[in-house]
Amino acid sequence: MKYAVTSKGDNKSNELMQQIKDQLDSLGVIYNEDQPDIVISVGGDGTLLYAFHRYSSRLDRTAFVGVHTGHLGFYADWIPEEIEKLATAIAKTPYQTVEYPLLEVTVRYSHGGRESKYLALNESTVKSVGSSLVMDVEIRGESFERFRGDGLCVSTPSGSTAYNKALGGAILHPSIPAIQLTEMASINNRVFRTIGSPLILPGHHTCMLKPVTSDDFQMTIDHLSLLHKDVKSIQFRVADERIRFARFRPFPFWRRVRDSFVTD
């Protein structure tokens, strides 16, 4: 059993990271930053996003667990006072895991060349540089609409409580292997028309965006932002890969939604 810990970097998270290390070391769990079986993220949801991307090449061999040093998170759902219990549970393998779907993003370029592939835990967004975003939207290989507006967001089920929610998207239970497409301020009048509602696509349906005017885009993959030039198409689908979370006690998704957004 090998573990790694990532910290948000503030004093509180760094101290807690050291405490977790001390406890796990004393229980005989081995620290291995490059090839961990379990990654403990200390900070917030943003810290877990970072940990996910750090270890995204070994998702099949790594489980994640999040401790929050600020407010309750969707990924970071353990409180600092629970770390002793957490360390004991980690040392006493095997533990239960739960898997959440991920989003696969493929960017293809007009000059041919290699396509870029990404995995997102929360979402990917596409905006144009400067002017409005104009994109032809295809679903399952068929033309659906021509979008004009600020941008488009494609979210995973566990990312549906993040940016997607702010865009009026639905909250999707992470047991549903689907992706959700939401609009950012679409232009709708007699000339331009988009569906207006968020769309939820099942696992075997792809969504493809094709540039109409400009082919340079500012894209995000979770917290990462990248400029893509000479884009031919951007494809979204439910990824084959999934993220695994170690589950040491039940904390149902809908309770986390309530505690985060309604009342605790």
Q: Which residues here bind Mn ion, judged by CB under 5 A?
A: 44, 46
**Using rule CB under 6 A, residue 44 touches ligand NAP:** yes
Choose which of 36, 101, 151, 159 interacts with ligand NAP (CB under 6 A). 159
Q: Which of 108, 63, 89, 76 is nearest to 12 (CA)?
A: 76
Whole-number Å distance between alpha carbons of 112 and 85? 53
45 is in an annotated binding site: yes
The answer to whether 233 and 108 have CB atoms below 8 angstroms apart is yes
145 is in an annotated binding site: no
Per-residue x/- marks for ligand NAP, 165-194, CB under 6 A?
A: -x----------------------------
Q: Which residues are catalytic?
A: 45
Say whether 148 sits in a helix, a strand or coil.
Answer: strand
- Which of 161/233 has CB closer to ligand NAP? 161
Whole-number Å distance between alpha carbons of 99 and 101? 7
Per-residue x/- marks for ligand NAP, 101-140, CB under 6 A?
A: ---------------------xx-----------------
60 is in an annotated binding site: no
108 is in an annotated binding site: no
The interface region with ligand NAP, picked from 39-47, 87-95, 189-197, 235-243 by CB under 6 A, is 39-47
Q: Which of 183, 180, 139 is nearest to 159 (CA)?
A: 180
Whole-number Å distance between alpha carbons of 149 and 137? 13
Q: Which of 2, 73, 69, 9 is nearest to 39 (CA)?
A: 2
Q: Which of 80, 83, 121 is nearest to 248 (CA)?
A: 83
CB of 2 to ligand NAP, least distance (A): 26
Binding residues for NAD(+): 45-46, 122-123, 148, 150, 185
Binding residues: 45-46, 122-123, 148, 150, 185
